[in-house]
Amino acid sequence: MPTVGVLGAGIAGLTAAYHLQQQGVSVQVLEASGHVGGVIQSERRDGFLVEHGPNSIRSSAPALEHIVQDLGLADERVWANDAADTRYVVRDGQPTPLPRSVGAFLSTDLFSTRAKLRLLAEPFIGRADTAEESVADFTRRRLGPEVLHYAVAPFVGGVFAGTPGDLSVQHAFERLAALEDKYGSLFMGAVRRALSREGDDEGDDVPSGLFSFRDGLQTLPTALGDALGGQLSLNTPVTALRHDGGQWRVRTSSSGETTRTFEALLSTIPLHRLADLHLDTPVNLAPLRAVSYPPVSVLALGYPRAAVRHPLDGFGLLVPPVERDLNVLGTIFSSTLFPNRAPNDHVLLTTFVGGGRAPHHATSDTDALQSLVTTDLQRLLGVEGAPVFRQHIHWPSAIPQYTLGYGQVKKTLNKLERTHPSLALAGNYRQGVSVGDALTSGADAADRLLTRLDAPAAQHTAR
Ligand SMILES: Cc1cc2nc3c(=O)[nH]c(=O)nc-3n(C[C@H](O)[C@H](O)[C@H](O)COP(=O)(O)OP(=O)(O)OC[C@H]3O[C@@H](n4cnc5c(N)ncnc54)[C@H](O)[C@@H]3O)c2cc1C
């Protein structure tokens, strides 16, 4: 059985390595930083539990559930508070709940009567005459401008830290585009899919909902890292890759330059880094180099409960770009979402700034950032006084943007794998940016590699 080198110990790399290990394949994971999990990092300090990157996972991926069960993490899991079903979107400076029922939709102030009537036209709107469309054009065409401004744009800010005018609906929201493609209408498609699923018990084993773990999301990568044990090398940045005589030579700069040899490679290194590894290949890597990963800053602030006027009875709030007086992308009510995120009688608010919408804000120093964030929180949530806790995390390259033309990136990735059958590529640039998507892409890439290496265990995956 060949030894597979897995590059990167984010959730995609750890999952891929664990999956290969379970199939009896010898793996070695090479990770540049001193910790596992990539952007998944949780930190407890002064009684507050801060998430540096993702705050919650939506459980729906069978591969994710398999790992949670297999590693015995089900008892550690904490489900989001019921209140988290409420999500606020800011309109005219006011946090307004996003409606969750037809009744709430009819009475909400988030959309005007005109916008509500416009939605009724959705089933009668024809398809676009272009093969690819931005999320903004797609939403404006099918659902009208207000739904774009007050539902889709804030959501795109929350998921991608991106802007709907830049992202491709075919790649960033593949399932949405597929509904139009297949049924001609989002409403009709959603209804027909819901009806066809009635009585269908597929996926019953996968509990649904948002979750984390008692000690934060870091629990998941830590458990995967522990399972990999000595097959994991931290502080081992990969600096160059060469395919030579049927083997991969991987140069690392851990303690001096070292070259390691593997029969196969599975890379989960972000594209902006992968493209700089001097990979000697006939494939043109320019589309990979061009993928944008805008910076994001996360500012976690702790306050005495009494210092915040808003009831914080929800997941958090999202700020649409059309609310031009405000600077933040959104704030998660972290201490409402999960238990034990703040000491008694205190709250934790986690605010995101920057992204494709305002990259310059993400690079502000901590004091400037705090001033920008607290100005918005004061207006939106009635936050008074100085925070008693503060943690600033800066991500220089946060989340890949699936922009118009992203098909070229996917083609390049597929071509790389076809040209080098002993190479597989996975990560949040491949089949979605959520933790569940990145994890699934790691498991899928491990399967592809197993099949190509002709390992008989490939059929035995429990997914
Ligand atoms: C601020 C933020 C908030 C988010 N919120 C959510 C959320 O609430 N829910 C959700 O589902 N998703 C969220 N996401 C997205 C999700 O967390 C990520 O898309 C996913 O975790 C990425 O996993 P990955 O393994 O693909 O990449 P990464 O986590 O980036 O891992 C890649 C790994 O490769 C390593 N590496 C890089 N270069 C080298 C090299 N040369 N040699 C060796 N190793 C290298 C890195 O150190 C890293 O450990 C968020 C992301 C961010 C940044």
Query: Angle between the 11-22 and 219-228 helix axes, to the nearest 10 degrees?
Result: 40
**Each residue's pLDDT expressed in tens, for the chain with a length of 463 residues:** 679 999 999 999 999 999 999 999 999 999 999 999 999 999 999 999 999 999 999 977 899 999 999 999 999 999 999 999 999 999 999 999 999 888 999 999 999 999 999 988 898 898 888 889 999 999 999 999 999 999 999 999 999 999 999 999 999 999 889 888 888 888 888 888 777 765 454 455 677 789 999 999 999 999 999 999 999 999 999 999 999 888 999 999 977 789 999 999 999 999 989 988 988 899 999 999 999 999 999 999 999 999 999 999 999 999 999 999 999 999 999 999 999 999 999 999 999 999 999 999 999 999 999 999 999 999 999 999 999 999 999 999 999 999 999 999 999 999 999 999 999 999 999 999 999 999 999 999 999 999 988 744 444 443 4
Closest residue (by CA) to atom 41 of ligand 1?
Answer: 238
* Rounded Cα gap, residues 249 and 420, in angstroms: 13
* Rounded Cα gap, residues 106 and 112, in angstroms: 10
pTM, two decimal places: 0.94
Measured from the Cα of 236, ligand 1's closest atom is 43
Kindly list the protein residues whose Cβ atom lies closer than 6 A to any atom of ligand 1: 7-13, 30-33, 38-40, 53-57, 237-238, 268-270, 273, 296, 298, 395, 398-399, 427-428, 433-435, 438
- C-alpha of residue 434 to centroid of ligand 1, in Å: 9
- Predicted pLDDT of residue 37: 98
Three-class DSSP category at 45: strand
- C-alpha of residue 330 to centroid of ligand 1, in Å: 20
Q: How far is CA 417 from the centre of its chain?
A: 24
Q: Which two tokens stand for residue 262?
A: 């593997």
Percentages of the chain per state (helix, strand, coil), in multiples of 5: 40, 25, 40
Q: Looking at beta carbons, which pairs linking 270-275 to residues 24 or more positions away fall under 8 Å? A: 270/8, 270/397, 270/400, 270/427, 270/428, 270/429, 271/400, 271/409, 271/427, 271/429, 272/397, 274/425
- Predicted pLDDT of residue 462: 39
Domains of the chain, each with CATH number or no CATH? 3-40+218-291+402-460 (3.50.50.60), 102-197 (1.10.3110.10)
Q: Torsion over CA of 207, 211, 216 and 221, rounded to 10 degrees?
A: 50
- Predicted pLDDT of residue 459: 43
- Predicted pLDDT of residue 161: 95
Task: Give DSSP secondary structure letters for 88-122.
Answer: EEEETTEEEEPP-SHHHHHH-SSS-HHHHHHHHTG
- C-alpha of residue 212 to centroid of ligand 1, in Å: 16
Measured from the Cα of 39, ligand 1's closest atom is 29
- C-alpha of residue 269 to centroid of ligand 1, in Å: 9
Closest residue (by CA) to atom 9 of ligand 1?
Answer: 54
DSSP 50: E
* Rounded Cα gap, residues 457 and 413, in angstroms: 25
CB 307 within 8 A of CB 335: no
CB 147 within 8 A of CB 115: yes
Closest residue (by CA) to atom 19 of ligand 1?
Answer: 433
Closest residue (by CA) to atom 2 of ligand 1?
Answer: 53
Measured from the Cα of 427, ligand 1's closest atom is 26
Closest residue (by CA) to atom 14 of ligand 1?
Answer: 54
* Rounded Cα gap, residues 177 and 134, in angstroms: 11
Exposure string for 307-341, b = 16+ CB within 10 A, e = fewer: bbebebebbbbbbbbbbeebbbbbbbbbbbbbeeb
Backbone angles phi, psi at 447, to 5 degrees: -60, -45
Can you point out the beta strands (E) in 396-434?
A: 423-425
| H or E element that contains 341 | none
- C-alpha of residue 195 to centroid of ligand 1, in Å: 36
DSSP 403: B
- Radius of gyration for the alpha carbons in the chain, expressed in angstroms and rounded: 23
User: What is the torsional sign of CA 252, 431, 442, 157?
Assistant: positive
Closest residue (by CA) to atom 50 of ligand 1?
Answer: 54
